[in-house]
Chain A
Amino acid sequence: MDANTIIFGGISILSLAVFFYLGRFRASTKQRNREDRIDWSSRKFSLWKIFLYSLVAVGGIVLLTQFF
């Protein structure tokens, strides 16, 4: 077994252990008791606005390619 497998295999196992351990706990009160939490029951921004923003992002990336 080479060093690459040991290091990244170790990271994988450790990360899975962290995920399965931390995942059971509630988030901190700092995270939960906020006024600006996402309201998953409704969409604050319309799909059109999201689509418009995504077009702006695509346009920006395409423009950047022209400079580089």
Chain B
Amino acid sequence: MSNHKALNMFGRSGNPALKADTCSQSARGTSSSGGIQSMDSATMTLQGTVNKTGILLALVVLSATYTWNLFFEGGAGAVMPIAIGGAIVGFIFALITIFKKQWAGTTAPIYALAEGLFLGAISGIFEAQYPGIVIQAVGLTLGTLASLLFLYKTGIVKPTENFRLMITSATMGIALLYLVSMAMNMFGSGGIGFIHSNGLFGIGFSLFVVAIAALNLVLDFDFIEQGSEMGAPKYMEWFGAFSLMVTLIWLYLEMLRLLAKLRSR
């Protein structure tokens, strides 16, 4: 299959088209016995995706540092417009990246910078209320990332179609709950109480959300692994790194909420 044909296929599909007949494309760059990928061509590689994840992580930290410092110098009033702006811009660029994967090389770094502005402000607010909570949330988030990567690479956790159905449904369910709660808040009815409560059910709900966010990482790893196996186009490295960042940012925010609930008891 020609490279041009493979690009067309990826362009058409809602998901990356990782069909068996694209394998021949990737044969040049994949080692058959689990070695390090060192291919330097126009197809997606594991090394490339890891490097791009590192770049996006650095961008998030860079812009988060700015709003973090701004919060501790000027207070919540000084930082909130930038945080809200960052969240909105991040959301818009996330949508653009999802629907225009080819642009991921440009849109994913902008998404990371915008989300960093939001995360820095939110982290500052939590840190002011519960000192030491941010480093705990960062440690637990990155610890989960490394643990699940190990479990995935060794084959202890094996994602299947049913696993994908379960995790996607649970993620959609959580998104629905948050949307309903936000809508209820906007109309002044106080939202869904248990989502924010620090009671047993509230903490149980947060634990459930953290578990689902963490299991989404496994789906991201499988997507990246198969993308590089099948010789997906180079821009899919940015897209893979972007999907990993979306999950990591969600996981970090849920960790913060869970730890805050535990500390407020």
Contacts and interface: CB of A to CB of B under 8 A. Distances in A.
Interface of A: 2, 4-5, 7-12, 14-16, 18-20, 22-32, 34, 36-45, 49-51, 53-58, 61, 64-65, 68
Contacts of A22: 146, 149-150, 153
Contacts of A64: 201
Interface stretch (B94-102, B105-113, B114-122, B155-163): B155-163
Contacts of A55: 173, 176
A8 B138 CA distance: 8
A23 B46 contact: yes
A44 B169 CA distance: 13
A36 B165 CA distance: 13
Contacts of B170: 54, 57
B133 to A, nearest CB: 9
22 contacts: A4-B135, A9-B135, A11-B139, A16-B146, A19-B146, A24-B37, A24-B46, A24-B50, A25-B35, A26-B30, A26-B35, A27-B225, A31-B155, A36-B160, A38-B164, A39-B161, A42-B15, A43-B15, A44-B161, A50-B172, A53-B172, A54-B170
Interface in B223-254: 223, 225-227, 229
Contact of A5 (B19, B30, B135, B145): B135
A3 B13 CA distance: 49
B168 interface: yes
Interface of B: 13, 15-19, 30-31, 33-37, 46-47, 49-50, 53-54, 132, 135-136, 138-140, 142-143, 145-147, 149-150, 152-155, 158-161, 163-166, 168-174, 176-177, 194, 200-201, 205, 219, 221-223, 225-227, 229
B165 A53 contact: yes
A57 B49 CA distance: 33
A32 to B, nearest CB: 7
Q: Which of A27, A36, A65 has the most CB of B within 10 A?
A: A27
Interface of B is mostly: helix
A25 B36 contact: yes
Given A7-B139, A9-B135, A24-B46, A54 B173 contact: yes
Given A24-B50, A27-B152, A40 B169 contact: no
B136 to A, nearest CB: 5
B27 to A, nearest CB: 13
A41 B18 contact: yes
Nearest to B199: A68
Given A24-B50, A26-B225, A27-B225, A15 B142 contact: yes
Contacts of B161: 36, 38-39, 44-45
B19 A2 contact: no
A51 to B, nearest CB: 7
Contacts of A58: 173, 176-177
Given A14-B146, A37-B226, A38-B222, A24 B47 contact: yes
